[in-house]
Structure 1
Amino acid sequence: MLAETICSAVSVAGLGIAAVTAYRKRFLSAARIAAYSLVPIGLVMTGVVKWLAHTAFSPTAWAGFVVLGAAWLLFLATRSVERRKYGTRKERRAAARAARENEATAPAASGPALPGRAPARPASGDAGRSTGSSRGAKPDEDFSDIEAILKKHGI
């Protein structure tokens, strides 16, 4: 009986606040407040409040909530252990291993396509090069790092 009275008082107070809000020309907020304030009286009318009041004072119901809470905590604990043991670390190691293999095979993939043929070498007088560090490098190795990056991104 006490719970029903409290819910009715909360609903009346909420409708009063909604009326004041509507008086201030904030109709959308007033409608939202009115909707929230009608929920407690609706719960009283459907009997949910009586059921909750009987549940709140029942030791059996509280024991059931404790059992449900323990089950939930066990589920979360096993889930976190499972993720830590099998999930993210294993996937990270596999991804790192795959990245190392891609980096190791990418420069070799830029070699000659046919096993018997040597790659074509340009003339020794490369006039297009302006940096001193790239003059001594072989023309085959100039673009190997670029090819590795493109292959890494699937291009």
Structure 2
Amino acid sequence: MLTSTLCAALSAAGLGIAAMTAYRKRFLAATRIAAYALLPLGLAMTGIADWISDLVFKPSVWVGFGVLAVSALLFLVVRGVEQRGEGGTRKERKAAAAAERAALAPQATVPPLGAGRAAERTQPRRKAKGSAGSDEFADIEAILKKHGI
């Protein structure tokens, strides 16, 4: 009941301010103020204002939020402990991960360097006819160095 009275008083005050603004020929601002002024009355009539006041002013609601926060904190602690305890120390976890990778694909970790180098040795190097390409790259490299990249 008190919430409804308070909302009605706020709406009446806001509508008064909107009327004074409209009297000064500022109709857009007056319309905006009237729209804001009618919100508390609408909330009171729908019952949302009572729900909000119960939410804010009841201590049991705040205790409930506290219990939810403690529950979330416990979930985070358990998750952190599980992650730390699964593999032991960092060295053990790294060694286990390396062994797992080696067992899955032992040849995948070794890059094929020999074939590429042999192909380079068999093909003779070609000399560039002009130095236009190298000049462009030199200019680009100078610009990148200037900007610290």
TM-score normalized by the length of structure 2: 0.50
Partners of 2:133 and 2:53 in 1: CA distance: 82
1:141-152 to structure 2, matched below 5 A, reads: 141-146=134-139, 148=141
Q: Alignment partner of 2:125: what SS?
A: coil
Partners of 1:60 and 1:139 in 2: CA distance: 79
Gaps of 5+ in 1: 76-113, 122-137, 151-155
Post-superposition CA distance 1:91-135 (Å, at most 9, x none)? xxxxxxxxxxxxxxxxxxxxxxx84322236xxxxxxxxxxxxxx
| Equivalent in the alignment of 1:13 | 13
| Equivalent in the alignment of 2:50 | 50
Q: Alignment partner of 1:39: what SS?
A: helix
| Equivalent in the alignment of 1:129 | none
Question: CA shift at 1:140, angstroms?
Answer: 7.3
Change (3 A) 1:140 1:9: closer
Q: What is the identity, as a one-letter code, of the residue corresponding to 1:119?
A: A
1:69-108 to structure 2, matched below 5 A, reads: 71=72
Change (3 A) 1:61 1:119: same
TM-score normalized by the length of structure 1: 0.49
Partners of 1:59 and 1:33 in 2: CA distance: 34
| Equivalent in the alignment of 1:81 | none
Gaps of 5+ in 2: 77-122, 144-149
Partners of 1:55 and 1:116 in 2: CA distance: 80
Change (3 A) 1:60 1:35: same
Aligned residues: 95
Q: Which protein has the bigger helix share?
A: 2
Question: CA shift at 1:59, angstroms?
Answer: 2.2
Confirm whether residue 117 of structure 1 aligns to residue 126 of structure 2.
Answer: yes
Question: CA shift at 1:143, angstroms?
Answer: 3.7
Question: CA shift at 1:53, angstroms?
Answer: 2.6
Change (3 A) 1:66 1:115: farther
Change (3 A) 1:115 1:4: farther
